[in-house]
Amino acid sequence: MSSPGSPDAPDAPDAPDAPTATSAWASVGPAVLDHVALGVERWSDAWPRYAVELGGEWWSGGFNVGFGPAQLRYANGARIEFLQPWDWEDNPFLRRFLDRNGPGPHHLTFKVPDLAHALDAAGDAGFDPVGVDLSDPGWKEAFLHPRQATGIVVQLAESTSDWSSPIPEEFPAERRRPPASLERATHAVADMDGALALFHDLLGGTVRGEGLADDGSWRWVDLAWSAPLSIRLVASVAPGDDNTVARFLDGRPGRLHHLSLSVDDPDLIRGAAPMERLIGVEPGPVWVVAPEGNLGTRLVLRSAPTPVPGRPRPLRAPRAT
pTM score of the predicted model: 0.89
- Evaluate if residue 263 carries a pLDDT over 90: yes
β-partners of residue 218 are 236
Smallest Cα–Cα separation from 298: which of 284, 278, 283, 276? Answer: 278
Multiple choice CATH, 181-303, 3.40.50.300, 3.10.180.10, 3.40.50.970, 3.30.9.10: 3.10.180.10
Task: Give the integer Cα–Cα distance in Å for 11 and 146.
Answer: 9
* CA–centroid distance for 37 within its chain: 6
Q: For 53-92, how does the pLDDT look when each residue is reduced to its tens digit (9 = 90+)?
A: 999 999 999 999 999 999 999 999 999 999 999 999 999 9
- Three-point CA angle 164, 122, 187, nearest 5°: 65
Instruction: List where CATH 3.10.180.10 sits in the chain.
Output: 32-159, 181-303
Multiple choice CATH, 32-159, 1.10.540.10, 2.40.50.100, 1.10.8.10, 3.10.180.10: 3.10.180.10
* DSSP-assigned letters across all residues of 263-310: ES-GGGSTT-EEES--TT--SS-EEEE-GGGTTT--EEEEE-PPPPTT
- DSSP three-state, residue 119: helix
pLDDT band per the 50, 70, 90 thresholds, residue 7:
very low
Task: Give the integer Cα–Cα distance in Å for 53 and 180.
Answer: 9
Smallest Cα–Cα separation from 144: which of 124, 123, 129, 122? Answer: 129
pLDDT of residue 181: 97
Mean pLDDT, rounded, for 147-157: 97
H or E element that contains 110 = strand 104-111
pLDDT of residue 198: 97
Task: Give the integer Cα–Cα distance in Å for 68 and 215.
Answer: 43
Q: For 13-55, how does the pLDDT look when each residue is reduced to its tens digit (9 = 90+)?
A: 455 666 654 444 579 989 999 999 999 999 999 999 999 999 9
Q: For 174-225, how does the pLDDT look when each residue is reduced to its tens digit (9 = 90+)?
A: 999 999 999 999 999 999 999 999 999 999 999 999 999 988 999 999 999 9
H or E element that contains 115 = helix 115-124
- DSSP three-state, residue 312: coil
- Evaluate if residue 233 carries a pLDDT over 50: yes
* DSSP-assigned letters across all residues of 258-271: EEEEEES-GGGSTT
